[in-house]
Structures are given as C-alpha cells and as structure tokens.
Amino acid sequence: MTVLTPLPEAAPPRLLVSVRDVAEAELACAAGADLVDAKDPARGALGALPVATVRALVERLAGRAVTSAVAGEPAPGDMASAVRAMAATGVDYVKVALPPGCPPAPLSAAAAAAPGRLIAVLFAEDAPDAGLVPALAAAGFAGAMIDTAGKDGRRLTDLLDPARLAAFTAAARAHGLLSGLAGSLRISDIAGLARHAPGYLGFRGGLCRDGDRRRELDPRAVAEAVRTVSALPAREAA
C-alpha cells in the first residue's frame, strides 16, 4: 500500500485521473498521473466499479501509481460494508460519498473498515463547510475532497467561491488530512485551483474525448494535464 502525506501549503497539487477499466488505468499511469482513481462514470458522480474490475486494475498497475476507488453513495448504515468490500481489492485509498448530516457512528465505522485509507467525498451542491473537517479527522478519515454531484455542465468553480475552497483545504491541512478538489474541471482550472493548496486535483470529463466523461480518456489531454501540473511553480499553490 502507498500512503500519501498531506502536501506543504506551497507545493503544487498531485493529479488524480478517474478511469473506468484496466486499459484506461494503464493509459493514465503511463502518462504520469499521480493517482489512478477507479469509478464508473455511467453510474453518476460517484458510481462504483465492480470489485473484480478494481482488483484487476490494482494488480495490473502493481504499485506503479497510487490507486483509489469509489465505494459509491451508500446510506449511512451501509457505508462500512461498502468501504470494506472495496478496500479488500488492495486499492491504496477508498472514496465514499457522505450525505449531509451523517451522524458520527457511521463515519467511525466506515473509517475503521479501511484504516488510514478512507477519503470522504462531499458534494459542492450541499455547500460543505470547513467546519466538517474536524469531525472527519476525529472519525479516522485519511482525507476529504469536494466534488460535484450533478454532471450537468456546472463546475466546481460555479458552485463554490474561492474563499470557501481555500478554507476547506486549509482545514484539511490543519487536521493532517489529504484534500482534493474535483468537479467537471478543465485543464485551464489547474493554475487557479492550485492556489488553494489542495493535495490533489481530480479529473474525468475534462480529459475525455469531446469532454464527455462517459467516453474514453484522451491520451493527449491526460498528457497535457500532467505537463500543466508539473510546470506549476511551487508558490502557485500558496
């Protein structure tokens, strides 16, 4: 297992590329993506791939990139079992959607199902507050990220203002959590969002053919995103 540490505030973010199968995982890894994230774009914002597919993906990459996989959007009572099943694939990190107002007990149970490996996904449409971060840290989560639930053309930056994004990533750093920002991002968003010092920026549709998240990854777009992140000056993320 590969464990990521939160980045210093001035460090450029890592690049996460979401993939739907082993072939796309190989493409993202070969292009230099820092994190290869398994999810099913045909099943909504946080659709989980079959466990067997994720296990095959992890085995194929064999540690050449950090891996994560989506455990879906389970109800609070089902969260721990969904996380446990995905963690058993050997993936480095598991991501799970958190409904607004999720009580503490399911949070702790879910984190215990993938110790040190669970990332909370909060949806921008719910206007997540940085004040949620301490509870996630206390429950045992390894990180937290913001994504968009609706893939309707609205982007992360359309839904949340820079001050809220900066407060969220700052709270994650203060509590020792990884932080991520995603949500219909384009390559042109990288420099601006890097100023909020997230641990990673997550992409899917912006790196697919015709910008359609349900289509295959475009190797040229993935390579361009890798180059763009690599070219960021260190202070760009401050």
Length of the chain in residues, anyone?
238
One-letter identity of residue 81? S
Catalytic residue among 95, 173, 175, 204: 95
Angle at 146 between CA 140 and CA 152, to 5 degrees: 145
Q: Which of 65, 54, 69 is nearest to 22 (CA)?
A: 54
Q: Are 202 and 18 in contact (CB under 8 A)?
A: yes
Q: Which residues pair with 122 in a beta bridge?
A: 146
Catalytic residue among 6, 13, 24, 39: 39
Torsion of CA 79, 82, 87, 89, to 10 degrees: -170
Query: Which runs of E-coded beta strand occur in the chain?
Result: 14-19, 35-38, 66-70, 93-97, 118-123, 143-147, 178-182, 200-203
Is residue 39 part of the annotated active site? The answer reads yes
Q: Output the six-digit token pair for 107.
A: 């949070």
Q: Are 191 and 232 in contact (CB under 8 A)?
A: yes
Is residue 151 part of the annotated active site? The answer reads no
Annotated catalytic sites, by residue? 39, 95
